[in-house]
Structure 1
């Protein structure tokens, strides 16, 4: 469930665009030093408007801003705001499909690692089938090639087979399950996985074609019929990129809220904060299931998402993330 708070009475897109123009022309916003010192009135106004508008409303604001000022709102933000606040605000202001296309493209254009494939797995396994299709269309439009083409050119073959199956999938999106099929495919998965044939075509076929409700029932049947869960059997199969990727895929399908809680926690731990990962989760899930992520977080880590955001971020960046998580209004 969403944590985005939209007021009952929302100003018109024209009114919002005019207020944003005023804020983005304010001197404190355009100063890096002012940004580092935190929370000027201009930053607060940006958060108060954009942080409390849904995707449709943000699109209307962007279109009105372009119409009124012959200027792209995101370009203006990019030229006037600085640091992690700017990056998170721009990510939020994009259309959700364009946002994910851009995130996927960046992940594929950096030095390869399985961790960088997180965003692609999230798009394919923790989003609606319609959103996945929209992301693929946006990717082609923005980058003059398909997501699949870039995966083929960057990702090693064994991992590529699974990723291509996932991003090319057109799943049924209704809650329809077949219990006998789930039992049968649980046995198929058990045989293949315990044989350590993680890139077997049967695994890829099941994970990339069945609807998410069917797959969750299959994973439940796996747990009930065999000694371990599918996650445990994959983990017992050893280490390596394919094991890591497969575990990520299973978790995103079975318990997406736990996957995103884990990404947030990992972004906080260690030396320095991984702001890109932290922003990605909060921005991309605020309108989907951030409430579910917040609910499981204390059970796993004995603290709240708010605690960790407050402890590791500051200034306008902190206030913006807390606005999206519903912890600051």
Structure 2
């Protein structure tokens, strides 16, 4: 369930654009007005605002926001203002393995297809061409049926295959020295330690089984310890605000920690998206 709160009467795209224009013109920027408008509009409404702004003022709203805002607040607002498919395509282009898994596994097949199309349009190459890991290529190139239909015979059969998988066989039948040598060969051949594969598989399973738990963990990790991982915090809240943030809040109820670890307009914007 989403957490976006929209006004009872939503202004027209033209009215919103006029208000945004006033917010970014003159001396200083009215950040509160930007939060008040964009933070309370859904993806369809934001697209109409972007298109109308371009028509009215012959400039990109994204470009204007980029020139007027700064820091983590700018990144969060711009990510939010993008079309969701374009936003995920840009995040995928950063080549963060966990982000690509999140996009591939925690969204609908229709959205993933839109992300692939947006990626090709934005970067003049396919998403598959930019992903070298075989597991990730499999995730983004497939189109999974999205209806709640389950074939129990397939489930039973494939659960058995998982249990009998080659990695289970190897780990349970080779001595520790053979396994260490295998791990070294894996790193030499594929460029990453094998425990990174384990971590990646865990993210895949979490994103499929319970996306809200995964993103609650992303938020928890982003604000724990010294300092804040603003990139992960922004990504988790912005990309899920229209999908399942209410469930994420249920999994991770300490929203007050988000308040304590952020400040200023950045904090106000994230809290607006959190409802």
What does the per-residue CA deviation read over 1:269-305, in whole Å, with 9 as the maximum and x for residues that have no partner?
A: 122111111000100000000111000113xxxxx1x
Q: Which runs of 5+ in 1 are unaligned?
A: 30-41, 109-115, 153-159, 198-237, 299-303
| Alignment partner, residue 50 of structure 2 | 62
Number of residues paired by the alignment?
253
Deviations 1:162-202 (A, max 9, x none): 111100010111100011211111110011152258xxxxx
| 1:121-145 residue CA offsets vs partner (Å, 9 max, x unmatched) | 1111000000000000000000001
- Aligned partners of 1:239, 1:139: CA distance in 2, in Å? 29
Q: Secondary structure at the match of 1:281?
A: helix
User: Structure 2: how far apart are the matches of 1:239 and 1:164?
Assistant: 18
Does residue 176 of structure 2 align to residue 176 of structure 1? no
Inter-partner Cα distance in structure 2 for 1:146 and 1:180: 35
SS in 2 for 1:195: helix
CA-atom RMSD in angstroms: 1.3
How far has the Cα of 1:255 moved from its partner?
1.1
Question: Could you tell me which of 259, 265, 269 is aligned with 1:316?
Answer: 265
Deviation at 1:118, TM superposition (A): 1.3
Unaligned runs of 5+ in 2: 172-192
User: Out of 181, 206, 216, which is 1:251 matched to?
Assistant: 206
Q: Residue 14 in 1 paired to residue 2 in 2? A: no
Within 1, Cα distance between the matches of 2:248 and 2:25?
A: 36
**Distance across 1 between alignment mates of 2:64 and 2:22:** 12
The one of the two structures with greater contact order (alpha-carbon pairs below 8 A, sep at least 6) is: 2
Query: Per the alignment, in what secondary structure is the counterpart of residue 53 of structure 1?
Result: coil
Work out the CA distance in 2 between the residues paired with 1:186 and 1:120: 25
> TM-score, structure 1 length as denominator?
0.75
> Is it true that 1:195 corresponds to 2:169 in the alignment?
yes
Structure 1: distance between partners of 2:203 and 2:170: 17
Hey, what does 2:224 align to over in structure 1? 269
2:101 corresponds to: 121
